[in-house]
Amino acid sequence: MKKIMDMQAAGNLIADYPGIPLGEPERQLAFMDKCRELVKQKEEAAGRPMTAAVINFGCQMNARDAEKLRGILKKIGYIITEEETADFVLYNTCTVRDNANQKVYGRLGYQKSFKKQNPEMTVALCGCMMQEPEVIEKIKKSYRFVDIIFGTHNVYKLAELLYAHLTSKSMIIDIWKDTTMSVETLPVDRKYSFKSGVNIMYGCNNFCSYCIVPYVRGRERSRTPEEILAECRRLADEGIVEVMLLGQNVNSYGKNLENPISFAELLKEIEKIDGIKRIRFMTSHPKDLSDELIQTMKESKKICRHLHLPLQSGSSRVLKEMNRRYDKEKYLALAAKIRQEIPDISLTTDIIVGFPGETEEDFEETLDVVRKVRYDSAFTFIYSKRTGTPAAAMENQIPDEVSKERFGRLLDLVQQIAAEECGRLTGQTEEVLVETTSNHEGMVSGRLSNNTVVHLPGTEAMIGTFVRVRLDEAKGFYYIGTPVEE
């Protein structure tokens, strides 16, 4: 039976690799070269190039990690594909809700048969779900064909772990509980040539009672402004015009640095970088959103007119149980202040229905906030019980039928308001950053500063450029427009 090598249990394996540097990123670059040789041998044996796919689940953080993982695999010599029958398949998992976990188990079911057909293929798992000990136990027991497992803290180590697997044929497991380490200078295979995510912080300290993220992403750690600015400048030099600053709670950025700095101050510094034309960020926690940030957004020419402000619930009682540290009134006052200062802003949100103990009256409070704030869009979720979180141990969990019925009502309201709000710019001329060709022949798609999608006539050559577009028609949640010469 296949052996299991647990890198944490095995302790320090450095001695096993004479000649490999200890410092990063040199160490990983050396492992990439070593893997390259092994992959070349595989190519020669098979008489064709080796392919790799990173299948991504979850949020923007995971999307960014996936770009890093693809960058490493490309450097090792794999041709990157989307096919789950590739020679190397890596699932970058999410565990925020149970259905994210179930999807991964479903995909692993298929992998078992792919691997029977091609025993040489390598199957790997990483990301948030792997930080849960029960998941690792289940994979060890029921999915023994998996070759490599790592978590959220050591994404940069892919080449080292792959090398360990290819040379030992064992199942390699390397899960870290937490880290202060980050390696951001390895190759990245970016999905877009003109926009990029930039991690500004990792982890989360908020411990919302329903949420598993603090347990799987670890404690909050901010990167230094110097590092972030250097990365943004490098991206600008490479032609990136839009950056998305990523963190679980960007509003608390910088508070724990040796030289503390606020998120607003960081934004002002990024604004000074010439080639960067648009700045976005995700995610804001309402409890930490400062007046300084609102003023900075108001005065900025580059920060996009969009704020994602997760509400979660409109009921002050439920918010308290959720440990959100704001109430309905405070949230409404904040939304009103933002709208007053930045009238053209688009507000979006996340909402959970069916949190333990949620009554019909609590749910009505949520609908009330949706009616008052009038979101441009909202991600709505049915509460999912996550083992180990305080909410999972709460009594009076809500029956599925009740949650589903409320979810339907919430979705109807959210969609109706979003459609009305989306139309408010009809007839105006706005700047669009063209992102992709559209499914319709002769059309391209892009985004407004406020993040709304616009379809317009155009060609592939326009991708990555800014175009002035008259917004002719609103179609629910997107516009059809015409480029205008001015």
Q: How far is the CB of 63 from ligand SF4 (least distance, A)?
A: 9
78 lines the binding site for ligand 5AD (CB under 6 A): no
Residues that bind ligand SF4 (CB under 6 A): 58-59, 61-62, 94-96, 128, 213, 216-217
Nearer to ligand SF4 among residue 132 and residue 160 (C-beta)? 132
Those residues whose C-beta lies under 8 Å from the C-beta of residue 64, and which sit 6 or more positions away, are 197, 199, 246
Residue 128 site contact among ligand 5AD, ligand SF4, none (CB < 5 to 8 Å, cut-off depends on kind): ligand SF4
Q: How far is the CB of 165 from ligand 5AD (least distance, A)?
A: 32
Between helix 291-299 and helix 328-341 the angle, nearest 10°, is 20
Closest CB to ligand SF4: residue number: 58
- Cβ atoms of 478 and 453 within 8 Å: the answer is yes
Helix (H) / strand (E) element for 356: namely none
Residue 406 site contact among ligand 5AD, ligand SF4, none (CB < 5 to 8 Å, cut-off depends on kind): none
Between CA 284 and CA 29 the distance in angstroms is 35
Pair type for strands 122-127 and 148-150? parallel
Q: How far is the CB of 62 from ligand 5AD (least distance, A)?
A: 11
What is the DSSP secondary-structure string of 429-447?
Answer: EEEEEEEEE-SSTTEEEEE
Cβ atoms within 10 A of the Cβ of 378, count? 23
| Residue choice 384, 445, 449, 452 for contact with ligand 5AD (CB under 6 A) | 384
SS3 306: strand
- Cβ atoms of 238 and 190 within 8 Å: the answer is no
For 341, the token pair is 């200062």
Nearer to ligand SF4 among residue 58 and residue 197 (C-beta)? 58
406 lines the binding site for ligand 5AD (CB under 6 A): no
Our CA angle for 424, 435, 440, nearest 5°, is 80
Between CA 416 and CA 304 the distance in angstroms is 24
Q: How far is the CB of 305 from ligand 5AD (least distance, A)?
A: 21
Nearer to ligand 5AD among residue 32 and residue 96 (C-beta)? 96
Q: How far is the CB of 95 from ligand SF4 (least distance, A)?
A: 5
Between CA 170 and CA 173 the distance in angstroms is 9
Instruction: Give bridge partners of residue 91 from the DSSP assignment.
Output: 55, 125
Nearer to ligand SF4 among residue 217 and residue 455 (C-beta)? 217
Site string for ligand 5AD, 86-115 (x = CB under 6 A): ----------xx------------------
Place of tokens 């904040």: 334
Size of the site for ligand 5AD (CB under 6 A): 12
| Residue choice 91, 383, 407, 479 for contact with ligand 5AD (CB under 6 A) | 383
Residue 326 site contact among ligand 5AD, ligand SF4, none (CB < 5 to 8 Å, cut-off depends on kind): none
Q: How far is the CB of 204 from ligand SF4 (least distance, A)?
A: 8
Q: How far is the CB of 97 from ligand 5AD (least distance, A)?
A: 5
Between CA 399 and CA 405 the distance in angstroms is 10
Nearer to ligand SF4 among residue 90 and residue 128 (C-beta)? 128
Q: Which amino acid is at 366?
A: T
Nearer to ligand 5AD among residue 375 and residue 383 (C-beta)? 383
Q: How many residues does the chain have?
A: 486
Nearer to ligand SF4 among residue 52 and residue 96 (C-beta)? 96
Site string for ligand 5AD, 337-366 (x = CB under 6 A): -------------x-x--------------
Rule CB under 6 A: which of 181-210 touch ligand 5AD? Answer: 210
First vs last C-alpha separation in the chain: 70
163 lines the binding site for ligand 5AD (CB under 6 A): no
Between CA 370 and CA 351 the distance in angstroms is 10
Q: How far is the CB of 339 from ligand 5AD (least distance, A)?
A: 21
- Cβ atoms of 179 and 218 within 8 Å: the answer is yes
Q: How far is the CB of 202 from ligand 5AD (least distance, A)?
A: 16
Helix (H) / strand (E) element for 153: namely none
Q: Name the H helices within 11-91.
A: 26-46, 60-76
SS3 175: coil
Q: Which stretch binds ligand 5AD (CB under 6 A): 338-346, 364-372, 378-386, 470-478?
A: 378-386
410 lines the binding site for ligand 5AD (CB under 6 A): no
Residues engaged in binding ligand 5AD (CB under 6 A): 96-97, 210-211, 310, 312, 350, 352, 381, 383-384, 386
